[in-house]
Amino acid sequence: MSHKSYVEGLVFDIRRYSVHDGPGIRTTVFFKGCPLECAWCHNPEGIRPDMEIINRRHILNGKTYLYKEVVGNLKTSGEIFNIIEKDRIFYEESEGGATFSGGEPLMQPEFLRELIGMCRKAGIHTAVDTSGHASARDFTAVLNSDLLLYDIKSANPVKHKEWTGKGNELILKNLRSVAREGPFLIIRIPLVPGFNSEEAEITAIRDLLVPLKSRIIRIDILPFHNLGVRKYIDTGRKRSMKTDVTPTGDEIDMALQIFTDKGFEAKMGA
């Protein structure tokens, strides 16, 4: 089945055999452009909503060759769908599917809506990995998907703004709306020392989520990892994260405990 479509979108990567972005074996499509600018972002090349030049290197016979590459491809939804469909047999065996991630997929709501629709029609499970930062109208684009991987970073709007560039009002509003109808949720919490790894911070997030518990499949605690550094260098983007301290085992255990205490399923990583 080949699809032609004129809805175009900007993506910066498509990764097959993605096994950490939802159930089963998945293909993850990374949308380019994000309204937030999280200090710890490990995909900085996904932030700008347009094409950009990135430095790359080839190594051959011990020699390193530097070259420039354009990050961001304008693709039609049909082109993307054709790639997603290539691994259908793997989705069937593993109960996997497609995940739309980024960047922020909701920055391109029509493109997202179209892709979810195409997958749905073809019987392919869809998940959207979102920050939730979108207008209520744009946010309806996710309602047809099967699963949301919904990031919650902080319950505190001031801190949220300080560390991500935006407050959390839209995020929490959309979260409440999706808790009434639409897809089930996996909540993803980046655990970042100095930002949200303290007990009070995590507890505040948990208390926000308690009323929505029946819609939440699981809580994923994602410990901050100092690995996007090279990508910052390659993209020439300034890195605002001041520290490279990663969460301790105790901090991670505590975060998990806070959720399991209230009957949530919580685990580290994806």
Partner 1 sequence: MTERVRQLRKQSVEAENRLDHERALLVTRFYSDIVNTEHPVPVQRALCFKYILENRKLWIGENELIVGERGPMPKATSTYPEVNLHSLKDLDILDSRPKVSFKVTEETRRIYRDYIIPFWQGKTNRDKLMAIMTPAWKKAYEAGIFTEFQEQRAPGHTVLGRKPWLKGMNDLIEECQESMERLQFETDPDAFAKRDELEAMQISAKAIIKFAWRHAGMLEKLAAKETNPVRKDEMLHMARICRRVPANAPRTFHEALQHYWFIHLGVITELNPWDSFSPGRLDQHLPGFYMKDIDNFSLNREQARELLQCFWIKFNNHPAPPKMGITAQESNTYTDFTLVNLGGVKEDGSDAVNELSFLILEVINEMKLLQPGSMIQVSKKNPDIFIHKALDIIRSGFGQPSVFNTDAIIQELLRQGKTIEDARNGGASGCVEAGAFGTEAYILTGYFNLPKILELTLSNGFDKRTNAQIGPETGDPLNFKCFDDLLSAFKKQVEYFADIKINGNRSIEELFSKNLPVPFLSLLTEDCIANGLDYNSGGARYNTGYIQGVGLGSVTDSLTALRFHVFGNKTFSMEKLLEALNADFKGYDDMQRSLVFNTPKYGNDDDYADEQAVSTFNIFFNSVDGRACYRGGKYHINMLPTTCHIYFGSVTGAMPDGRNSGTPLSEGISPVQGVDTNGPTAVLKSASKIDHIKTGGTLLNQKFTPSFFEDSESYNKITALIRSWFRLDGHHIQFNVISSETLRDAQKHPEKYRDLIVRVAGYSDYFNDLGEDLQNEIIKRTEQATG
Residue ranges binding partner 1 (CB under 8 A):
15-21, 24-25, 58-61, 63, 65, 86-87, 89-90, 92-96, 220, 222-223, 225-227, 229-230, 268-270
Dist. CA 169–CA 154, nearest whole Å: 11
Minimum CB–partner distance for residue 60 and partner 1 (Å): 5
Minimum CB–partner distance for residue 264 and partner 1 (Å): 18
Minimum CB–partner distance for residue 223 and partner 1 (Å): 6
Structural contact between residues 68 and 234, judged by C-beta atoms closer than 8 angstroms: no
Dist. CA 19–CA 17, nearest whole Å: 6
Q: Which amino acid is at 189?
A: I
Minimum CB–partner distance for residue 231 and partner 1 (Å): 8
Closer residue to partner 1 (CB): 19 or 136: 19
Dist. CA 158–CA 155, nearest whole Å: 9
Dist. CA 162–CA 156, nearest whole Å: 10
Closer residue to partner 1 (CB): 90 or 184: 90
Closer residue to partner 1 (CB): 210 or 233: 233
Closer residue to partner 1 (CB): 135 or 226: 226
> What is the rounded (10 degree) CA torsion for 23, 28, 31, 32?
120
Closer residue to partner 1 (CB): 7 or 54: 54
Q: 68 forms bridges with which residues in the sheet?
A: 55
Minimum CB–partner distance for residue 176 and partner 1 (Å): 26
Helical H segments across the chain, by residue range: 77-85, 88-94, 109-121, 136-139, 157-164, 169-180, 199-209, 229-235, 249-260
Closer residue to partner 1 (CB): 96 or 109: 96
Minimum CB–partner distance for residue 196 and partner 1 (Å): 16
Structural contact between residues 112 and 106, judged by C-beta atoms closer than 8 angstroms: yes
